Amino acid sequence: MSMLNILIADDEAPARNRLHDLLADIGNTHIVAEAKNGKEALQRADELQPDIVLLDIRMPEMDGIEAAQHLQKLPRPPAIIFTTAFDNYAIQAFDMNAVDYLLKPIRLERLEKALQKARALQPQQLAALTPLSPRKTHLTIAERGRILLVPVDDIIYLRAELKYVTVRTAEREYLIEESLTHLEQEFDSLFIRLHRNCLVAHAYILGYEKRINDEHGEKQWVALLKHVPETVTVSRRQQHLIRMT
Amino acid sequence: MKNTGRLPNIRNLGILLRVLIIANTALALIAYTLSTDLADFFQRMTAISALAQPMLLSSLLLLYGSYPLITRLSYKQGLTAILALVILCTAIIYKLFAQLWVFDDLPGLTRILFTALFISALTLYYFNLRYRAHSPAVTEARLQALQARIRPHFLFNSINAVLSLIRSQPKQAETALEDMADLFRVLMADNRELVPLAQEMALCRQYLALEKLRLNERLNIQWQIDNMPPDAMIPPLVLQPLVENAVYHGIEPLTSGGTITIQIYTKLNEIHLILKNPYSTPNHHQHGNKMALGNIKERLSLHFDLEASLKSKQEKGVYEVHIVLPHQKQKH
């Protein structure tokens, strides 16, 4: 059997040390890196391509469930074994969907067994875990073989164009393959649908202005945005939303 | 003290408030029954109050003063004593008014005494009913059910942390296990009696030592307890669950950690406990926090009625819980 490359992700140093000790006891394993949160785990996994990620669920910045969803989009997704001290909801979901997990304090034999049968998560397993994560904090964007993470809080607007959605931040634009309706459902409280093809973040709306539309010569409301020069047209149907704000 | 709890504690603010409400409602009812319209009602109410309020207040003052004596009596003797004191007080005030009264429509003494007696009996009956509803068996059962429960999350994470220390730092592992034993001894104990504040503080320190093991430099504690009265009596496990919440909701979600501030001082014979922790939105674990707060609130009110309060607020990224409770010293 070839050496297993393992990435440990846990925000607590003692928990990482314990896994270190246990993996040393088991042998035939190599710890490629340690991460203190989901975001770091994702970056390390992207660089180092581990075979297995031991992923704690409750971590700051990005929790284990969200990290698992992003990890899945890597070109060579690692096998994931969740670790948790206590989380009834998560454990129920894991049991129902045959997802590997280890309960802390972790036992040597359990860890050994989990490593032997570890394999990558299936899409339907991942889908079942989505409700466990309160709301994604990042969007993953695949770009030239790399995985980029865009914090949801940085997104100014999302605009649907043909089969892609443009993600606009203060710095630049990204393209993702997602449906706008799906994004709207997921980030319900953060964005407002000002146009059939555009979701705008509440936090970045400066105000509204009535402008002459060049094409038809009609007056139309547009939303002025922070950090970017472009504006978003408010469709006639959504104009009642302006009055509410 | 044969009747502890059965006779209303007249020195408790909540009880005083209830007495005033019951008596004044009865007086208002009398005025209402006699009156023909609203203006007449107010007129009558004023007239009645002019006579009745001094009687009511002086009776309460007298009872307040003689409360330690009353508590030494049996329940029946206590009731008789209270009624006798009220009658006495009412009669004295009546005599005073009879000499000074400028109007000529002062009602007869017997009627006044009968009304005072009736209202007093009614109030005492109410407190008897209330006592039975909150009888020790019921109250204790509620207290027991309410006893703060430590998060399993904390237990298992701590055991995991101790396990990681055993090989490399056995000394530290020993201390941690001792802290854990102390902590669970308190959690599993019968927690219905008040305990000295110093004891609760020691518990918090042990708890935080364990959390420090896991979170290391992410967890910072600022103690502002120079004016803390260590002998003040508080319900057990009032502070520890709040500190636990602060760690769970405030510190753990932060990669670089944060500071929890614990502030305790006395002011005007009241103890103030203030706990602050950083608060990052969105917080999806709100539910657990609300439960802990509700639990503590209810235990405070079972012990201190209206004299204790718990308020929480969040402002500029800081979550704050503020508890005020009466300063009761340890009985020797």
- A52 — pLDDT class (breaks 50, 70, 90): very high
Q: Using the predicted structure, report yes or no on whether residue B1 has a pLDDT greater than 50.
A: no
Do both B247 and B157 map to the same domain? yes
* Stretch B167-187: mean pLDDT: 89
Q: Measured between CA atoms, how close is A237 to chain B, in angstroms?
A: 31
| Cβ pair B329, B232 in contact under 8 A | yes
Which DSSP category does B246 fall into?
I
Joined tokens for residue B120: 């007093």
Which among A60, A87, A134 has the least Cβ separation from residue B282? A134
Contact flag B214-A36 (C-beta cutoff 8 Å): no
Closest residue in A to B163 (Cα) is A18
Q: Report if residue B331 sits inside a domain.
A: no
Task: Pick the range with the lowest mean pLDDT from A184-193, B5-14, B90-99, B277-286.
Answer: B277-286
Task: List strands edge to edge, sheet with A198-201.
Answer: A173-176, A164-168, A157-161, A198-201, A191-195
End-of-domain residue from the set B133, B166, B199: B133
Same domain, B51 and B77: yes
Do A12 and B214 make contact, defined as CB atoms within 8 angstroms? Answer: yes
One domain, residues B114 and B161: no
**Is residue B271 situated within a structural domain?**
yes
Do B224 and B93 reside in the same domain of the chain? no
Write down which residue in B98, B133, B168 finishes a domain: B133
Distance CA B127, CA B252 (A): 47
pLDDT tier for residue B283 given thresholds of 50, 70 and 90:
very low
Residue B6 lies in a domain: no
Tell me the ipTM for this assembly.
0.70
Q: How close does chain A come to B270, measured CA to CA in Å?
A: 38
CA separation for the pair B207, B198 (Å, rounded): 14
Q: Are residues B125 and B164 in the same domain?
A: no
Question: Cα–Cα distance between A119 and A111 in angstroms, integer?
Answer: 14
Q: Give A84 to chain B, closest Cα distance, Å.
A: 9
Domain that holds residue B225: 147-326
Paired strand residues for B265: B272
> Searching chain A, which residue's CA lies closest to the CA of residue B154?
A85
Instruction: Classify the C-alpha dihedral B124-B139-B306-B31 as positive or negative.
Output: negative
In a domain, B7, yes or no: no
pLDDT higher than threshold 50 for residue A57: yes
Per-residue pLDDT reduced to its tens digit, B234-252: 988 889 989 988 998 899 8
Name the E strands within chain A: 4-9, 29-35, 52-56, 79-84, 101-103, 138-143, 146-151, 157-161, 164-168, 173-176, 191-195, 198-201, 205-212, 219-225, 232-233
Determine the 3-state secondary structure of A104 from DSSP: coil
Cβ proximity of A41 and A83 under 8 Å: no
Query: Does B2 fall in a domain?
Result: no
Q: For residue B4, tell me if it sits in a domain.
A: no
Identify which of B183, B175, B249, B252 has the alpha carbon closest to the alpha carbon of residue B216: B252
Examine the domain organization and report whether B284 and B184 are in the same domain: yes
User: Is the pTM higher than 0.80?
Assistant: no
Question: Which of A10, A16, A18 to substitute to test the interface with B, most B CBs within 10 Å?
Answer: A18
Domain-terminating residue out of B133, B163, B185: B133
Number of domains in chain B: 2
Domains of chain A: 4-132 (3.40.50.2300), 155-244 (2.40.50.1020)
Q: Quote the crossing angle between the two packed helices B170-188 and B197-215, to the nearest 10°.
A: 140
A109-115: long-range contacts at Cβ-Cβ below 8 A with a sequence spacing of 24 or more? A111/A19, A111/A22, A111/A23, A111/A26, A112/A26, A114/A81, A115/A4, A115/A6, A115/A26, A115/A29, A115/A52, A115/A81
Partners of B254 on chain A (C-beta within 8 Å) are 60
The residue among A116, B22, B84, B109 whose CA lies nearest residue A102 is: A116
d(CA A91, CA A83): 10
Pairwise CA distance, residues B71 & B152, whole Å: 44
Which residues of chain A have a CB within 8 Å of the CB of B159? Answer: 104-105
- For residue A62, give both structure tokens: 């990005």
- Band (pLDDT 50/70/90 cuts) for residue B142 is low
The answer to whether residues B184 and B319 belong to one domain is yes
Least confident of B27-41, B233-247, B279-293: B279-293
- Average of pLDDT values for B187-202? 84
CA B298 to chain CA mean position, Å: 8
- Per-residue pLDDT tens digits for B161-176: 899 899 889 999 999 9
Distance from CA of A103 to the nearest CA of B (A): 9
Residues of B with Cβ-Cβ distance to A105 under 8 angstroms: 156, 159-160, 163
Environment class of residue A199 by beta-carbon count within 10 Å: exposed (0-12), middle (13-18) or buried (19+)? buried
**Per the domain annotation, does B204 fall within a domain?**
yes
B59 and B190 assigned to the same domain? no
Q: Are residues B276 and B191 in the same domain?
A: yes
A233 bridge partner residues: A222
Report the DSSP pairing between strands B309-315 and B318-326.
antiparallel
- CATH number for the domain that contains residue B176: 3.30.565.10
Please give the Cα distance from A57 to B88 (Å, whole number).
71
Is there a contact between B277 and B215 (Cβ–Cβ < 8 Å)?
no
Q: Rounded to 5 degrees, what angle do the CA atoms B60, B64, B69 make?
A: 125
B175/B280 same-domain check: yes
Contacts of B290 (CB under 8 A, 6+ apart): none
B100 and B159, same domain (yes or no): no
| One domain for residues B52 and B195 | no
| Separation in Å, CA B73 to CA B64, B81, B127 | 15, 9, 17
Is B110 contained in some domain?
Answer: yes
Pick from B191, B227, B211: nearest CA to B302 = B191
Provide, rounded to the nearest whole percent, the portion of chain B with pLDDT above 70.
89
Q: Which residue of A has its CA nearest to B158?
A: A105
- Res. B150 pLDDT band, cuts 50 70 90: low
DSSP β-ladder status, B219-224 and B258-267? parallel
Q: How far is A206 from chain B (nearest CA, A)?
A: 22
Task: Check pLDDT > 70 for residue B286.
Answer: no
